Structure 1
Amino acid sequence: MSRRWIAHLDMDAFYASVELLRYPQLTGQPVVIGGGRRHQPEPQPDGSLSFSTLRHYAGRGVVTTATYAARAFGVHSAMGLMKAAALAPDAVLLPTDFDEYRRYSRLFKAAVVEIAPVMEDRGIDEIYLDLTEVPGAQDAVDGDPLGGIRALGQRLKDAVHHATGLSCSVGITPNKLLSKLCSDLDKPDGLTLLELSGIPERIWPLPAKRINGIGPKASARLEALGVHTIGELAAAEPEWLVQHFGANYGLWLHEAAHGRDDRPVVTYREPKSLSRETTFERDLHPRQDRDALGAIFTRLCEQVASDLERKGFEGRSIGVKLRYDDFKIVTRVVTLPAHTQDAATIRQWAGRCLKTVPLDQRLRLIGVKVEGLRRPGSEPVAAQEPAAAWRLGESLPLF
């Protein structure tokens, strides 16, 4: 009987690594990704580039990712850039370029499915692969019973590097839960192979919060109950876990701590929505900054429309999201007469959503979402005329 082998492949510092391909002179330096367009490197008369640094950053942006050299200073994703500047003031700051990151994402995924076609896409920089039936996975090599699966893992890594010039880390175990844990054990450029017998040595010493599915609240509660490691969680009685966390989650914690997970690799999952949002460098007022907000809002609608077309969907519901300067979040959704992927139609109905929200205080963030997705069919797209004529691309009033 074939042994089940599931791989989790995670790209190493993905966005930052893509930027280092573009700017190889920054290799080995602390680099932070998360700046805006004003942080583009500037060409100098001698042909070199001048890079922005965190030392001169002012604003409320957040770190998208950072190189391992920057992480050594304590910088990590989702950290405020101002805090990152205090930790690593001389780190180079680069703007995000999601179009380029998506291009490299498609490249590495296309490379690995040539070897292992059963792939579950988990995002721009990570995937699961079922290697069980891939030729060679069950073979012994030179007396090593795991030689075949080990060689297959290296083939995957080599394929990614050949297609993109980037490195990845791969965890290979009997299930998805363990493989995700293992892909992070030997980063960067790691290959970790684990059988169930290796759980006590490699997995149980890890913090309990490392298990995918134990969030900050559950982690804090476990800490308060004296459970710090996965091993301590595994030693806890199931009845005790159920008492403190409820039947479903308590039993899942017990199973996860013992490395039990029978979820299949799902080759395709239809998205339920597509969205784009942006956080401003400074708070913008809906009236005083109306032109700037209008241009940003229109660009978000264009980006969502482009995403719909590229992924082959159209949507029926349009929503907007606002975060005010007091961090209060407001959302609104409207259902269209027909499905659409047209940018002008999305902009029109998103604008109507805005008319139903309070616009009397400054904004930190604005977003646009399209829901109710389907593949384009025969139903015609209803193009409603807005009250005032306008052309896509103009700086439009929001209201």
Structure 2
Amino acid sequence: MNANARRIAHLDMDAFYASVELLRYPELRGRAVVIGGRSVHQPVMRDDGTREFSVLRDYVGRGVITTSTYEARALGVFSAMGMMKAAQLAPDAVLLPVDFDSYRHYSRLFKKAVASIAPLVEDRGIDEIYIDLSEHEEETRALATRIKTAVNEATGLSCSIGVAPNKLLAKICSDLEKPDGLTILTMADVPTRIWPLPARKINGIGPKAAEKLTALGILTIGDLARTDAGVLQDHFGRSYSAWLGNVAQGIDERPVSTSSEPKSISRETTFEHDLHARHDRDKLLGIFTALCTRVSEDLHRKGYVGRTIGIKLRYADFSTVTRDVTLPASVNDPAAIRRAAGECLRRVPLEQRIRLLGVRVGALSKNDGTPEREDFSQGELGFE
């Protein structure tokens, strides 16, 4: 199929968690609001019928922002930022607790509304999807506008849509006119609309790759498109350099996949206070065991087993390390997961204090039987 014959849309809900909260608390519209607090930050109803909200200046702890309104983002407050740092930038920003049940409810509503118009949908998370519009006869802008209207009528929320010949370009252009945007792109538009953008705008160019590109003087997607293939291969290897060369030209042949098979299942937790692997060993053991158990329960509930077991640690200085191990056979029982994760822990430095701990199971396959659950043994962990 000719590239321009494909019409792939990327739909991204605008500041999704925060927007759901604004439906509940409309008096906060236009204000800087951050999501990520605990239950103690629930608004309190006053005697006069108005609500009293928590603000960032009063926050004490080690929490991280889940998301923020556009007004908060204008002050430099973004997701994954530490609450205490955000409080310095926006002390008067309202702080609300997360409510994932509500977010999942609105996620189901907007996806159902889209599927009623265009059923070829690839689910990419709670707030974004790809949609294949190639077989629809309706004109692109009218069709995309109809989808946006359906989402708004079903949820009361706005979304931004990018429509392009492939998933790569659709995801980039859905972000160009946020919020409530609609951007339509053809391959002919790549030099004028895509090449001036920073190279990190390409999904798949992470912080380390972006840093290396910057060191080479490659700042924009256009710079990347004009870079000699040999130079890229010298610095990034054959496979990744070939991918960089293609995406810089706007080339992406990936189909919209309507199956929803997960690639991995994970659980992680951020501590209220940093913990030390030795001084807080017993507490970390309990948390580690609980994470392995919850991942195991998720695997059982969804009917999967996995071969690759991994851990994630974030230290007090916000640096992050990951380790994983691939087992000879797939597992889903907590003891096997914990043993393998413990092996991974023994391969990471544990001198620093830890602020986040996570456990992941990847290389998933459908479970064709239920392995026996094994007893835990405290000596199998790396916190010693």
C-alpha deviation, 1:25, in angstroms? 1.8
* Residue number in structure 2 paired with 1:38: 40
Give the structure 2 partner of residue 29 of structure 1: 31
1:274 aligns with 2:276: no
1:124 to 123, 126, 133: 126
Which residue of structure 2 lines up, in the alignment, with residue 108 of structure 1?
A: 110
Change in 2 beyond 3 A, CA 1:201/1:368: closer
- TM-score, structure 2 length as denominator? 0.82
Report the residue type matching 1:206 in the other structure: L
Cα distance in structure 2, aligned partners of 1:168 and 1:18: 12
1:9 aligned counterpart, secondary structure: strand
Change (3 A) 1:312 1:17: farther
Provide, for residues 301-341 of structure 1, a one-character-per-residue CA deviation record: whole Å limited to 9, x for no partner: 6754664466444567876655565767586879799955x
> Structure 2 matches for 1:326-341, cutoff 5 A?
340=332
Do residues 154 (structure 1) and 141 (structure 2) align?
Answer: no
Q: Which residue of 2 aligns with 1:8?
A: 10
1:292-371 paired onto structure 2 within 5 Å: 300=291, 304=295, 307-308=298-299, 311-313=302-304, 323=314, 325=316, 340=332, 346=334, 363-371=354-362
Supply the AA of the counterpart residue of 2:37: G
Q: Which aligned pairs between 1:223-302 and structure 2 lie closer than 5 A?
A: 223-268=214-259, 270-284=261-275, 300=291
Secondary structure of 1:278's aligned partner: strand
**Paired residues of 1:320 and 1:353 also in contact (CA < 8 A):** no
Unaligned runs of 5+ in 2: none
Distance (whole Å) between structure 1 residues aligned to residue 214 and residue 326 of structure 2: 43
Alignment: residue pair count = 373
Moved more, 196-205 or 227-236: 227-236
**Equivalence for 2:161:** 170
CA distance in 2, matches of 1:114, 1:100: 22
Please state whether the residue corresponding to 1:154 is helix, strand or coil: helix
**CA distance in 2: counterparts of 1:224 and 1:353, whole angstroms:** 38
Query: Residue 374 and residue 183 in structure 1: after superposition, are their counterparts in 2 closer, same or farther (change >3 A)?
Result: same
Cα distance between partner residues in 2 of 1:323 and 1:205: 34
CA–CA distance in structure 2, aligned partners of residues 238 and 51 of structure 1: 55
Q: Which residue of 2 aligns with 1:185?
A: 176
SS in 1 for 2:47: coil
- Give the aligned partner of residue 96 of structure 2: 94
**Counterpart contact for 1:320–1:350, Cα < 8 Å:** no
Q: Identify the residue that residue 372 of structure 2 maps to in structure 1.
A: 382
Matching residue of 1:53: 55
CA 1:376–1:254: 2 relative to 1, 3 Å? closer
Give aligned-pair identity as a percent.
58
What CA distance in whole angstroms lies between the structure 2 residues aligned with 1:195 and 1:334? 42
Distance 1:273 1:253, change over 3 A: closer
Cα distance in 1 between the residues matched to 2:359 and 2:321: 13
SS at match of 2:71: helix
Gaps in structure 1 of 5+ consecutive residues: 138-147, 389-397
In 2, Cα distance between equivalents of 1:129 and 1:205 = 26
Which residue matches 1:197?
Answer: 188
User: Which AA in structure 2 matches 1:90?
Assistant: D
Is residue 338–residue 380 contact of structure 1 (8 Å, CA) maintained in 2?
Answer: no
Q: Does residue 197 of structure 2 align to residue 206 of structure 1?
A: yes
Do the aligned partners of 2:308 and 2:326 also contact (CA within 8 Å) in 1? yes
Alpha-carbon spacing, 1:322–1:221, altered in 2? closer, same or farther (3 Å): closer
The 3 A distance-change label for structure 1 pair 160 and 301 is farther
8 Å CA contact 1:10, 1:169 repeated in 2? yes
Moved more, 59-68 or 311-320: 311-320
